[in-house]
């Protein structure tokens, strides 16, 4: 590569030197004692016999003056004119001369510039296309943009990945095959052609793929699915071919396609106005053909990652293409502890800070969320010029990530602050009264995030994967506790419960249409099948039930919400005195911890009994 670059430099030195020589010749080529005269003056001097030593060329006539005054040029130059025309012009008495002949520089450039232009086009457009380098070249649109990492360029190992032990165990087999393919082929087995990493954003799918390449020590081809799709039809398919060609040439190797859903979205039977399929479908078809065509014994392994597996084309997921799907899910508490240990290694942690307690604060956090949490805690400690990061910094960081930034400059009037205080204490008291709900950790009326005038943070006691009907109804009552408190104290309701109502409605509708928790509608799911893609009107499917059932669903959802609101209001009516006192203290301190709330409330009145599923739910 260095020698090629030196050849380019030498070529341009030659071109510049050649042009410089031509320019110098043009400037210095003619002597200074030559005088250019008009052609009619030449004819007059000729008749007066004042010139000598004529040299007649095709365009020019040169000669010398017989008598030249001292200090004047001794030679002349003029441009020829047609003799017949010259005679007529001379009779008219006008000054005339011919067109000057092109100089050496003009003659050379006339034939040299087209050649130079062709060389430039070849060097900067055509040649990079052939080699795949430069800015892509004129014809490089079909070249793969995959970044190639050599073994030393992928420093990530499985020890750098935590919280996804099941996924690591699946991928360790791939590493073992790439290192020792004969061990697997001796019994006729072959490695899966494609492995799809599925999971929510931020769970470490890309990190896992890099760890596989780092452990195996093989070339790693990484590209995003969106980079295959271009404006011109056929370009993406060409890039797919080029990518697999590079991978075969450097086998054993790993090809990693991130955000596979951008490339592998389900195809539609609808054809566009031109009668053909679009660029994405052609690119997907080429990917399917490549997966069918390459020999897995070569050691080329395809890894894909997506957080939307439901929209992928079924042909892409069948056996023989993506043979195996590996779930990379949100980590449980044990996984969060392992991830936090990785990131806290770079942080100066205060004594007594328990990583287990930090993990308990973060249910539902992904690996990326936890990395961000540790960084935010370290930044908070830095802002207050601390030498160590304390548990309080982690608590503040969790609130910042979950609820948003504090906005103390958002000034509320006295009535609004009072409403917000009772609203948030309504959430807290209902949560503290109902069994099985998440423990209240903090209540605040300091505005945060986008439009949040206050917040109530609950801390789950453990990771939950199944919820029964009673627990869902209790969660709905907690969400409606804020609005119920406004109704009990002020006799009015405000717009502050908009987000609570949206969440409650979503829970109630899922209970009815997905979980079969309404006895009047039976053990049936009414949610329509999730549409993978809506590319045309013919892909749309109507709901699978009639108007009477739709009305029954709406009634059931409304009954669940009304029943949850009635329970929340009954709890707060029974504890109205405690509600008023807790809200008064909250207005003074702005933030209350769980211990402070418990000290104010003391024992709370028992909640009303939950009605049986077959009973009619009470109205508000």
- Residue-by-residue DSSP string for 414-437: HHHHHHHHHHHHHHHHHHHHSTTS
Is the predicted pLDDT of residue 40 greater than 70, yes or no?
yes
- Cβ neighbour number for residue 480 with a 10 Å cutoff: 29
Helices 469-479 and 481-490, interaxial angle, to 10°? 40
- Report the pLDDT averaged over residues 136-153: 54
pLDDT of the residue at 314:
84
Per DSSP, 390 falls in state -
The stretches of 101-216 forming alpha helices (DSSP H) are 104-121, 127-131, 165-179, 181-185, 205-216
Provide, rounded to the nearest whole percent, the portion of the chain with pLDDT above 70: 71
Helices 104-121 and 2-28, interaxial angle, to 10°? 160
CB 203 within 8 A of CB 250: no
Candidates 1.10.8.60, 1.10.3720.10, 1.10.490.10, 1.10.3210.10; CATH matching 333-403: 1.10.8.60
Higher-confidence residue of 538 and 110: namely 110
CA–CA gap between residue 457 and residue 503 (Å, rounded): 16
Q: What are the structure tokens assigned to 29, written together?
A: 């080529």
CA–CA gap between residue 307 and residue 259 (Å, rounded): 8
Backbone phi, then psi, for 78, in 5-degree steps? Answer: -140, 160
Is the predicted pLDDT of residue 175 greater than 90, yes or no?
no
Answer left, alpha or beta for residue 437, where phi above 0 means left and psi between -120 and 50 means alpha: beta
CA–CA gap between residue 433 and residue 605 (Å, rounded): 8
pLDDT of the residue at 109:
60
Is the predicted pLDDT of residue 537 greater than 50, yes or no?
no
- Report the pLDDT averaged over residues 101-106: 56
CB 466 within 8 A of CB 484: no
Ranges for all domains in the chain classified under CATH 1.10.8.60: 333-403
Torsion of Cα atoms, 171 then 175 then 178 then 183, to 10°: -90
pLDDT of the residue at 206:
87
Is the predicted pLDDT of residue 150 greater than 70, yes or no?
no
Higher-confidence residue of 174 and 542: namely 174
CA–CA gap between residue 311 and residue 45 (Å, rounded): 94
pLDDT of the residue at 105:
55
Is the predicted pLDDT of residue 369 greater than 70, yes or no?
yes
pLDDT tens digit sequence for 569-584: 999 999 999 999 999 9
CA distances from 170 to 196, 305, 324 (A): 11, 15, 9
pLDDT of the residue at 275:
40
CA distances from 444 to 426, 456, 460, 481, 564 (A): 12, 7, 18, 15, 24
pLDDT tens digit sequence for 373-388: 999 999 999 998 988 9
pLDDT band at 138 (very low <50, low <70, confident <90, very high): very low
pLDDT of the residue at 131:
43
pLDDT tens digit sequence for 478-529: 999 999 999 999 999 999 899 999 999 999 999 999 898 988 888 888 875 4
CATH number of 414-601: 1.20.58.760
Provide, rounded to the nearest whole percent, the portion of the chain with pLDDT above 90: 19
Is the predicted pLDDT of residue 260 greater than 80, yes or no?
yes
CA–CA gap between residue 220 and residue 146 (Å, rounded): 9
Ranges for all domains in the chain classified under CATH 3.40.50.300: 146-269+278-327
Chain centroid offset of residue 47 CA: 87
The three-state secondary structure class of 161 is coil
Q: What are the structure tokens assigned to 258, written together?
A: 């991130």
**Max avg pLDDT among 61-70, 327-336, 359-368, 555-564:** 555-564
Range name among 53-67, 331-345, 589-603 with the lowest pLDDT average: 53-67
Respond yes or no on whether the N-terminal peptide bond of residue 252 is cis (omega within 30° of 0).
yes
Ranges for all domains in the chain classified under CATH 1.20.58.760: 414-601
pLDDT tens digit sequence for 485-497: 999 999 999 998 9
CA–CA gap between residue 174 and residue 194 (Å, rounded): 11
Strand partners, 591: 444
Is the predicted pLDDT of residue 272 greater than 60, yes or no?
no
Q: What are the structure tokens assigned to 318, written together?
A: 């069948």
CA–CA gap between residue 544 and residue 234 (Å, rounded): 39
Question: For 142, how many CA atoms within 13 A lie in the half-sphere containing its CB?
Answer: 12
Is the predicted pLDDT of residue 360 greater than 60, yes or no?
yes
Q: pTM above 0.95? A: no
pLDDT of the residue at 45:
76
pLDDT tens digit sequence for 429-466: 999 999 888 889 889 988 876 667 888 888 877 777 78
pLDDT of the residue at 570:
93
Per DSSP, 142 falls in state G
Whose structure tokens read 């009994």? Answer: 609
Higher-confidence residue of 329 and 74: namely 329
pLDDT of the residue at 620:
42
Q: Which residues are tagged catalytic?
A: 424
pLDDT band at 253 (very low <50, low <70, confident <90, very high): confident
pLDDT band at 232 (very low <50, low <70, confident <90, very high): low
CB 194 within 8 A of CB 322: yes
Candidates 3.30.1330.60, 3.30.420.40, 1.10.1040.10, 3.40.50.300; CATH matching 146-269+278-327: 3.40.50.300
Dihedral sign (CA 240, 245, 246, 250): positive
Dihedral sign (CA 313, 317, 319, 322): positive
- Report the pLDDT averaged over residues 204-221: 85
pLDDT of the residue at 617:
44
């Amino acid at each position: 590569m260095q020698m090629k670059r030196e050849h380019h430099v030498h070529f341009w030195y030659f071109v510049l030197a050649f042009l410089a020589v031509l320019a110098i010749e043009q400037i210095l080529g003619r002597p200074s004692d030559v005088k250019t005269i008009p052609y009619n003056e030449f004819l007059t001097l000729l008749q007066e016999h004042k010139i000598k030593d004529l040299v007649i060329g095709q365009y020019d006539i040169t000669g010398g003056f017989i008598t030249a005054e001292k200090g004047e040029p001794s030679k002349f130059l003029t441009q020829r004119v047609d003799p017949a025309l010259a005679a007529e012009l001379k009779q008219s008495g006008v000054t005339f001369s011919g067109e000057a002949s092109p100089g050496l520089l003009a003659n050379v450039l006339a034939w040299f510039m087209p050649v130079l232009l062709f060389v430039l086009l070849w060097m900067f457009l055509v040649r990079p296309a052939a080699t795949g380098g430069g800015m892509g070249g004129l014809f490089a649109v079909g070249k793969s943009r995959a970044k190639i990492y050599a073994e030393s360029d992928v420093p990530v190992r499985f020890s750098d990945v935590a919280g996804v032990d099941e996924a690591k165990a699946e991928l360790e087999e791939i590493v073992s095959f790439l290192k020792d393919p004969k061990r697997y082929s001796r019994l006729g087995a072959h490695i899966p052609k494609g492995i799809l990493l599925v999971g929510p954003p931020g769970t470490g799918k890309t990190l896992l793929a890099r760890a596989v390449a780092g452990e195996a020590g093989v070339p790693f081809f990484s590209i995003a699915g969106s980079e295959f799709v271009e404006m011109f039809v056929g370009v993406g398919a060409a890039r797919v071919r080029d990518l697999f060609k590079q991978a075969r040439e450097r086998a054993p190797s790993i090809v990693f396609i991130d955000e596979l859903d951008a490339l592998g979205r389900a195809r539609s039977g609808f054809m566009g106005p031109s009668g053909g399929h679009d660029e994405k479908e052609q690119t997907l078809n080429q990917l399917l053909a490549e997966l069918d065509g390459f020999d897995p014994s070569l050691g080329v392994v395809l890894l894909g990652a997506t957080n939307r597996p439901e929209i992928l084309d079924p042909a892409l997921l069948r056996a023989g293409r993506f043979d195996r799907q590996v779930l990379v899910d949100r980590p449980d508490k044990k996984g969060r502890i392992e991830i936090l240990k990785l990131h806290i290694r770079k942080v100066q942690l205060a004594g007594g800070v328990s990583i287990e307690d930090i993990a308990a604060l973060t249910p539902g956090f992904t690996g990326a969320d936890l990395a961000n949490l540790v960084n935010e805690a370290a930044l908070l400690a830095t802002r207050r010029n601390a030498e160590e990061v304390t548990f309080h910094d982690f608590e503040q960081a969790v609130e910042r990530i979950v609820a948003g930034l504090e906005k103390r400059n958002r000034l509320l009037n006295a009535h609004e602050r009072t409403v917000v205080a009772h609203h948030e204490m309504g959430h807290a008291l209902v949560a503290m009264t109902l069994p099985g709900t998440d423990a209240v950790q903090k209540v605040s009326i300091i505005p945060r995030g986008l439009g949040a005038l206050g917040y109530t943070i609950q801390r789950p006691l453990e990771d939950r994967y199944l919820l029964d009907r009673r627990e869902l109804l209790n969660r709905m009552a907690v969400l409606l506790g804020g609005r119920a408190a406004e109704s009990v104290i002020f006799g009015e309701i405000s717009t502050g419960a908009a987000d609570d109502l949206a969440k409650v409605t979503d829970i109630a509708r899922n209970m009815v249409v997905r979980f079969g928790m309404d006895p009047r509608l039976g053990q049936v799911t009414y949610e329509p099948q999730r549409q993978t893609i809506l590319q045309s009107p013919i892909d749309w499917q109507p709901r699978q039930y009639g108007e009477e059932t739709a009305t029954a669903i709406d009634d059931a959802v409304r009954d669940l919400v009304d029943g949850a609101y009635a329970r929340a209001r009954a709890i707060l009516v029974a504890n109205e005195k405690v509600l008023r006192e807790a809200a008064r203290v909250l207005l003074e301190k702005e933030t209350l911890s769980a211990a402070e709330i418990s000290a104010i409330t003391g024992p709370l009145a028992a909640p009303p009994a939950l009605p049986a599923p077959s009973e009619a739910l009470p109205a508000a």
